[in-house]
Amino acid sequence: MEQFLNLIDTVLTKGKKRTTSVQGPGTIVYPGYEMRFRMDDSFPLITTRSLKGSWKAVRAELLWLLSGSDDIADLHKDGVHLWDPWATPKICADYGLPPGRLGRIYGPQWIRWPKRENNLVDKIAEIVEGNGNDEDKINEIHSLLNRRPRGGETIDQISKVIDEIKTNPDSKRMTVSAWNPEDIDKVFIAPCHVIFKFAVAEGGLYLNLWQRSADLLVGVPFNIAEYALLLLMVAQVVGLKPVEFVHHLSDVHIYFDQVEYAKMQLKREPKPLPEVKLNPEVTDIFSFQLGDFVLENYDPHPPIKGIPVAI
């Protein structure tokens, strides 16, 4: 995949050094980059190192995000442990989270974005400040709260965007956000891929992703594959042709201890991209299962083992 190698080369040759990093050693950073992947007859899974062993994790993580879960135990059911380093007992305790929980990052924001409570608070304040005895006020507040779901009302952004594609394809609002400023300080790792948007043009479906932080060697290959897969899935359930995945990266970086691994990939020639086939019987985005995706004609270079992961 030439685009991926071009990005590695750009970071190594034009990037700027940062000597420290919150998540580990220093980095070489290149601020701002865009890659475009056509979806006509191939799937953008990198070939300069094998991700055959990670294909199950790619599928499982995406389905986990779409389920709205932040519990790594749900990933463990499929034998996937990608998120374990970020949900240790110490991290969860430090952030006041239940064991094995990541907090409100991707899935919970996609599926259960919390509505503002300002209106409810104002109504309660009006009742408290109004005329009447305390018993009547308490009963009125109880009546108000009885119409409110436990934890407050939420927005299913995924369902809304799919409905928008189906009913109003010319819309420019087909957007899903994982970045909720109210929750950023309550989680150990803030969302890296923060917002994505669909667009429909001439019967084709496009997907744009904006990523604030991009660990180029470890995270980006997964991000490319998962969002390309999401584009295929959504296109199938809305009956459109998947055309292009556009990946906008803000803080693209290679950690100092990853540089030699990056150079190894630059020495390898990209191979033809594989194909991914979906189960054509699935017509609901939340009904996909692990077995509904088939990776074909994937013949990558051997794996590169030992790439450090910054926690």
Active site residues: 192
Which pairing describes strands 241-255 and 27-38: parallel, antiparallel, or unpaired?
Answer: antiparallel
User: Rounded to whole angstroms, how far apart are CA atoms 56 and 64?
Assistant: 12
The one-letter code for the residue type at 246 is V
Which residues does the annotation place in the binding site? 212-215, 223, 253-255, 310
Please name the helix (run of DSSP H) or strand (run of DSSP E) that holds residue 76, with its range, or none.
Answer: helix 72-76
Placement of tokens 């239940």 in the chain: 98
Helices 220-238 and 55-67 sit at what angle, rounded to 10 degrees? Answer: 60
- Rounded distance between C-alpha atoms, residue 154 and residue 156, angstroms: 7
> Facing residues of 36 across strands?
246
Among the listed residues 309, 248, 255, the one whose alpha carbon sits nearest the alpha carbon of residue 15: 255
Selection from 242, 219, 234, 203 nearest residue 37 by Cα: 242
Residue 91's CB is within 10 A of a number of other CB atoms, namely 18
**Cβ atoms within 10 Å of 31's Cβ, excluding its own:** 11
